[in-house]
């Protein structure tokens, strides 16, 4: 049998919970500060504006396009090479409604006549400023509602201290991803939000597996202290955590490199999230639950009954 | 004995997998280039149309795969995509402008699969290319127009009742202000109007003679709904002109309309067509003039020749009684003898004009002419688009009595025709303006590229995961891999079966992510089995305990992720929704394959007999 870990005794994870907690608090504060100071590089979905992605038939220089657009009155246009020297991305900030509707058509017309008559439009996007604001609001709402529903479910299924631990871990993960986006200035758009939300799902998955084992061991092992049982549970689930993180990361890197630019930002948020999420389910989620006074008694129901014990096994 | 499979479970798993495989299979067949023929406003596609198309194709010696008439549409499948454009030209010319001929890609699903309702997944615009518009109806303008109408209505109502007033005007901050001469006048006036318009709210001001009229919530909602509905009707008509095969025109929220046009690249032209204007005119028919002479080209003084929708000539007077911008509403319904009719209401000014023109024309026929300005695609010297004026007589009715602000057209053949006429009347009426608030275009090459990239990342992701599982868990890894592939088949099958499901690029990302996490359930189970083996349990005990102990972890973990997916789907929009859908489906199918599916295989290979070792 091939094993990543051959462990004879439990790893004393909780020995480092003090330093790990301080480390995480510093990271979270630093991330939030970064978001506050540098801000996120908000994509078109949220800011509103116009975007045109073009493929030229020959190699072009971004500054030439900018010069042509400048001349035609699009002073605020930004041009950037996108992947190769024939792919260009032109962006315009939101403007007054009346003219905005046809901006992408005008830009293409100008570039067609003045630069390259074989230019191909790969993608255009126009988002009105009002819609951008609404998309942002609905994205934020989705995140908050998701966190609340998860808290309720975990509190109902396990215990409120574990619920609070899970949400603390999620808050930690989401903050760090935001920090990552503020630091790297990668574009933050609707797809990124989907990425952040799947990190919530993934990290939670990890946390629940750990909690499940802690609950099981608390019920089974009567003699040891809480800390020792927690260490044992974390050790038992460690190889699973590593394997799943590994397979998920492999798949995410496939998306990052082969999925194209549109999916790259999405997978980047998930890659960060998977690493951070595995760490937080060990240190943030359990430490918080223990810190809130999780004891054996809180996990043992008055009437001890293993779920489904009175039923025929389904599988 | 432990770990044996009950027959019903074997049957269940085989049944589920077989059904999903069956419904997933149309995705393997690809698509045929096709030309789709549907009826324009008023016309219907009949077997004669089919025969005509067949005749033209045979005459030109065009080879095709299949020609069929279904759901009022003709589908002509071709062998080669190069044929599409010339064949469209050919058919469009032969059929004339009563039919819309559009290019399409028809799924090449074999007919035996089609007969059980199977078909490939629908692809989102980001994968097949096309335009997405989000339009917003200017509700301020719609409400203002309604209030303008109120002012005119109040004037004529008060005049009829003989109640004197000082002034009626629209307030800039909304609502209508009524000013009377004295308190009595106000009480009388509001009483009369209140009775007539129960949907309006009358509020007396501090001064004793004035009152403010506003719309009730109910009436406001109706006004808004009407404005959106009217715009949707008009946009649907215009989209038909574009010749798009599977357009989507749908209301979103209170005041928005989503328009999705797959395959359309020229957004400038699409916008022109969607923004084209249409209007209506009421004219008297010239019953004395010589139609034959007019058809022959001789001028008939005071009259002009029009055509109805079947191309029959109708001679109408030059003088226009009324134009469409006076129409406030048109509804189809039934008269007291249950015959179809259309009720039309006009604004105050329009009512007066109509009354004056029809006073002496009782017993004479009046025609409704629909005028549309269609963009030709050409531009004049200044770069402005050139429009083609297109006139058509949609109805001729005999005036039974002097007409006023509301009247009806009866003697209509069918309910469907009454409905159509009401639509046309509304399309030509004055509408609330709309503006585009969001627009996304994806070129066809980009769409194909996105599919390619999505497939590549699925293959890489799947390949790496399969290799790792095989290496790490050996025999059991193979079982997990079978489950993983089954899982993919199930996702595709369910996506193809769900009528509303659309696969988008973020959706593909969701599938790829599912591959990564689907093995998680098996990792949990296998690690647990290893633990039990290490703890010294027998092989069969270990398998049994491994599965049952891992179950609660797997269920809890998946349910919480499922909660996230459901929230994403209900709150999110566009890409987020597409991702959430595949994620949710993937969670459900991976639970099934990883727990039920692998157990079945494990039991039948290693279960129910004495073993010393397990390949895990």
In tens, the pLDDT along A281-303 reads 888 999 888 888 887 777 766 55
How far is Cα of residue B444 from the mean position of the Cα atoms in its chain?
A: 21
Q: Whole-model pTM?
A: 0.77
Residue B335 has pLDDT above 90, yes or no: no
User: In angstroms, what separates the C-alpha of B448 from chain A's closest C-alpha?
Assistant: 11
Residue B571 has pLDDT above 50, yes or no: yes
- Contact B438/A127, CB-based, under 8 Å? yes
Burial (CB count within 10 angstroms: exposed 0-12, middle 13-18, buried 19+), residue B15: exposed
- Mean of the per-residue pLDDT values for chain A? 83
Compare CB distances from A254 to B457, B559, B576 and report the shortest one's residue.
B457
Element (H, E) at B395: strand B385-398
Q: For tokens 């215009």, what's the residue?
A: B238
- A123 to chain B: which residues are within 8 Å by CB? 440-443, 446
Compare CB distances from A201 to B443, B457, B561 and report the shortest one's residue.
B561
Task: Please tell me the predicted confidence (pLDDT) of residue B232.
Answer: 86
What are the contacts of B536-540 at 24+ separation with CB within 8 A? B539/B606, B539/B610, B539/B611, B539/B612, B539/B613, B539/B614, B540/B1, B540/B2, B540/B3, B540/B607, B540/B608, B540/B611
User: In angstroms, what separates the C-alpha of B461 from chain A's closest C-alpha?
Assistant: 4
| Distances B289 to B318, B394, B410 between C-alpha atoms, Å | 12, 20, 25
CB atoms under 10 Å from CB of B438, counted, come to 24
How far is Cα of residue A140 from the mean position of the Cα atoms in its chain?
A: 13
Closest-CA residue to B543 (of B443, B462, B463, B614): B614
β B165-170/B64-70 pair status: unpaired
Main-chain phi, psi angles of A11, to 5 degrees: -75, 135
* Alpha-carbon dihedral sign for residues A77, A81, A85, A88: negative
Q: Which residue of A has its CA nearest to B466?
A: A247
Would you state the torsion angle of the CA atoms of residues B143, B146, B151, B154, taken in this order, to the nearest 10 degrees? Answer: -130
Residue B428 has pLDDT above 90, yes or no: no
Mutate to test the interface with A, among B518, B576, B583, B593 (most CBs of A within 10 A): B576
Would you state the torsion angle of the CA atoms of residues B550, B553, B555, B557, taken in this order, to the nearest 10 degrees? Answer: -140
- CB B322 within 8 Å of CB B123: no
β B122-123/B502-503 pair status: parallel
Q: Where residue A98 falls among pLDDT bands split at 50, 70, 90?
A: very low
Residue A99 has pLDDT above 60, yes or no: no
**If you average pLDDT over each of A44-48, A161-165, A173-177, B193-197, which comes out highest?**
A173-177
Q: For tokens 């305990």, what's the residue?
A: B545
Q: What number of residues does chain B have?
A: 616
CB pairs under 8 A between A and B: 232
Residue B408 CA to residue B214 CA, distance in Å, equals 29
B518: CB partners within 8 A, 6+ apart: B483, B484, B487, B586, B590, B593, B594
Half-sphere exposure of B530 (CA within 13 A, CB side): 23
β B385-398/A78-82 pair status: unpaired
- Residue A150 forms contact with B (CB below 8 Å): yes
Closest-CA residue to B517 (of B464, B567, B595, B583): B583
How far is Cα of residue A85 from the mean position of the Cα atoms in its chain?
A: 30
Closest-CA residue to B165 (of B141, B143, B184, B150): B184
Residue B244 DSSP label = B
- Residue A104 forms contact with B (CB below 8 Å): yes
Residue B112 CA to residue B109 CA, distance in Å, equals 8
- CB B545 within 8 Å of CB B537: yes
Integer Rg of chain B from CA: 33
Q: Where residue A24 falls among pLDDT bands split at 50, 70, 90?
A: very high
CB atoms under 10 Å from CB of A224, counted, come to 14
Residue A136 CA to residue B245 CA, distance in Å, equals 33
CB atoms under 10 Å from CB of B522, counted, come to 28
What residues 84-103 of chain A have any CB closer than 8 A to a CB of chain B?
Answer: 97, 101-102
Residues A229-278 pLDDT 10s: 899 999 989 989 999 999 899 889 988 998 887 788 888 888 999 999 99
What are the tokens at A178? 């935001």
Residue range B163-183: average pLDDT? 86
Residue B44 CA to residue B416 CA, distance in Å, equals 12
Residue A100 has pLDDT above 50, yes or no: no
Q: Where are the alpha helices (DSSP H) in B304-397?
A: 348-358
CB atoms under 10 Å from CB of A282, counted, come to 24
- Residue A201 forms contact with B (CB below 8 Å): yes
- A212 to chain B: which residues are within 8 Å by CB? 552-553, 556-557
Task: Please tell me the predicted confidence (pLDDT) of residue B82.
Answer: 80
Q: For tokens 């399309």, what's the residue?
A: B427
Q: Which residue of B has its CA nearest to A45?
A: B438
Q: Where residue A22 falls among pLDDT bands split at 50, 70, 90?
A: very high
β A41-42/A187-188 pair status: parallel
Integer Rg of chain A from CA: 25
- A131 to chain B: which residues are within 8 Å by CB? 134, 437-438
Q: What's the ipTM? A: 0.84
Q: Where are the alpha helices (DSSP H) in B429-504?
A: 444-497
Percent of chain B at pLDDT > 70 equals 94
- Mean of the per-residue pLDDT values for chain B? 84
- CB B298 within 8 Å of CB B309: no
Residue A203 CA to residue A278 CA, distance in Å, equals 7
Q: Where are the beta strands (DSSP E) in chain A?
A: 41-42, 49-55, 78-82, 84-92, 120-127, 187-188
What are the tokens at A222? 């009567």
Residue B141 has pLDDT above 90, yes or no: no
Task: Please tell me the predicted confidence (pLDDT) of residue A28.
Answer: 95
Burial (CB count within 10 angstroms: exposed 0-12, middle 13-18, buried 19+), residue B350: buried
């Amino acid at each position: 049998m091939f094993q990543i870990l051959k462990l004879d005794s439990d790893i004393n994870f909780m020995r480092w919970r003090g330093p790990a907690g301080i480390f995480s608090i510093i990271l979270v504060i630093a991330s939030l500060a970064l978001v506050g100071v540098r801000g996120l590089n908000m994509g078109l979905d949220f800011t509103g504006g116009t975007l045109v992605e073009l493929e030229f038939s020959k190699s072009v220089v971004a500054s030439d396009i900018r010069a042509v657009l400048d001349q035609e009155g699009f002073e605020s246009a930004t041009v950037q090479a996108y992947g190769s020297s024939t792919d260009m991305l032109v962006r315009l900030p939101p403007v007054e409604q009346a003219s905005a509707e046809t901006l992408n058509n005008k830009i293409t017309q100008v570039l067609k006549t003045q630069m390259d008559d074989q230019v191909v439009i790969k993608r255009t996007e126009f988002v009105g400023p009002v819609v951008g604001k609404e998309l942002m609001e609905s994205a934020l709402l989705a995140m908050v509602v998701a966190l609340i529903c998860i808290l309720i479910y975990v509190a109902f299924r396990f215990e409120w201290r574990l619920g609070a631990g899970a949400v603390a871990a999620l808050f930690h993960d989401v903050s760090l991803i935001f920090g990552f986006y503020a630091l790297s200035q990668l574009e933050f758009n609707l797809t990124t939000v989907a990425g952040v939300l799947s990190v919530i799902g993934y990290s939670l998955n990890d946390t629940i597996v750990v909690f499940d084992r802690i609950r099981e061991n608390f019920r089974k092992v009567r003699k040891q202290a809480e800390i020792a049982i927690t260490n044992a549970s974390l050790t038992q689930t460690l190889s699973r955590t590593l394997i799943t993180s590994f397979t998920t990361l492999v798949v995410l890197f496939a998306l990052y490199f082969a999925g194209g630019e549109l999916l790259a930002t999405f997978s980047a948020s998930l890659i960060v999230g998977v690493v951070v999420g595995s760490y937080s389910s060990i240190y943030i989620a359990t430490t918080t639950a223990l810190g809130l006074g999780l004891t054996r008694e809180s996990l043992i129901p008055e009437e001890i009954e293993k779920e489904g014990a009175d039923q025929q096994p389904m599988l | 004995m432990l770990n044996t499979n009950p027959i019903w479970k074997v049957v269940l798993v085989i049944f589920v997998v077989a059904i999903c495989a069956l419904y997933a299979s149309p995705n393997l067949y690809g698509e045929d280039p096709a030309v789709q023929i549907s009826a324009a406003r008023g016309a219907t596609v009949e077997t004669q149309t089919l025969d005509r198309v067949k005749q033209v194709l045979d005459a030109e010696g065009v080879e095709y795969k299949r020609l069929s008439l279904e759901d009022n549409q003709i589908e002509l499948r071709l062998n080669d995509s190069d044929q599409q454009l010339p064949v469209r030209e050919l058919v469009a010319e032969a059929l004339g402008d009563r039919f819309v001929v559009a290019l399409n890609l028809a799924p090449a699903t074999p007919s035996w699969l089609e007969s059980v309702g199977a078909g490939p997944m629908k692809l989102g615009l980001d994968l097949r290319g096309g335009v997405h518009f989000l339009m917003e109806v200017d509700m301020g303008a719609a409400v203002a127009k309604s209030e303008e109408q109120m002012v005119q209505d109040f004037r004529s109502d008060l005049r009829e009742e003989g109640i004197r007033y000082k002034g009626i005007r629209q307030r800039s901050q909304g609502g209508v202000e009524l000013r009377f001469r004295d308190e009595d006048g106000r009480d009388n006036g509001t009483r009369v109007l209140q009775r007539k318009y129960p949907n309006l709210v009358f509020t007396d001001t501090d001064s004793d003679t004035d009152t403010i009229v506003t719309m009730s919530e109910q009436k406001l909602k109706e006004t808004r709904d009407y404005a959106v509905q009217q715009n949707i009707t008009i946009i649907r008509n215009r989209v038909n002109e574009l010749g798009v095969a599977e357009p989507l025109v749908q209301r979103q929220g209170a005041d928005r309309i989503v328009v999705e046009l797959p395959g359309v690249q020229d957004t400038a032209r699409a916008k022109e067509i969607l923004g084209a204007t249409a209007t209506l005119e009421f004219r008297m028919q010239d019953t004395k003039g010589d139609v034959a002479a007019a058809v022959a080209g001789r001028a008939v003084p005071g009259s002009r020749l029009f055509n109805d929708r079947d191309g029959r000539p109708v001679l109408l007077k030059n003088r226009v009684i009324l134009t469409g911008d006076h129409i406030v509403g048109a509804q189809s319904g039934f008269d007291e003898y249950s015959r179809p009719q259309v009720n039309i209401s006009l604004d105050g000014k329009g009512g007066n004009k109509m009354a004056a023109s029809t006073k002496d024309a009782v017993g004479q026929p009046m025609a409704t002419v629909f005028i549309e300005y269609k963009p030709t695609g050409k531009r004049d010297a200044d770069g402005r688009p050139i429009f083609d004026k297109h006139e058509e007589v949609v109805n001729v009715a005999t005036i039974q009595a002097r007409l006023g602000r509301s009247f009806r057209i009866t003697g209509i053949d069918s309910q469907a025709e009454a409905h159509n006429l009401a639509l046309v009347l509304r399309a030509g009426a004055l509408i609330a303006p709309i503006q585009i608030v969001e627009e996304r275009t994806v070129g066809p090459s980009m769409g194909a590229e996105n599919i390619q990239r999505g497939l590549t990342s699925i293959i890489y992701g799947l390949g790496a995961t399969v290799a790792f599982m095989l290496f790490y868990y050996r025999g059991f890894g193979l079982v997990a891999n079978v489950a993983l592939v089954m899982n993919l088949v199930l996702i595709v099958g369910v996506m193809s079966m769900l009528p509303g499901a659309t696969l988008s690029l973020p959706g593909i990302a969701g599938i790829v992510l599912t591959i990564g996490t689907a093995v998680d359930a098996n990792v949990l189970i296998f690690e647990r089995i290893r633990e039990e083996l290490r703890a010294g349990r027998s092989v069969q005990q270990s398998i049994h305990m491994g599965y049952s102990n891992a179950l609660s972890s797997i269920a809890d973990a998946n349910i919480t992720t499922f909660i996230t997916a459901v929230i994403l789907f209900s709150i999110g929009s566009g890409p987020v929704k597409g991702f959430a859908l595949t994620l949710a489906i993937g969670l459900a199918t991976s639970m099934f394959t990883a727990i039920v599916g692998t157990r079945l295989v494990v039991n039948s290979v290693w279960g129910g007999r004495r073993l010393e070792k397990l390949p895990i």
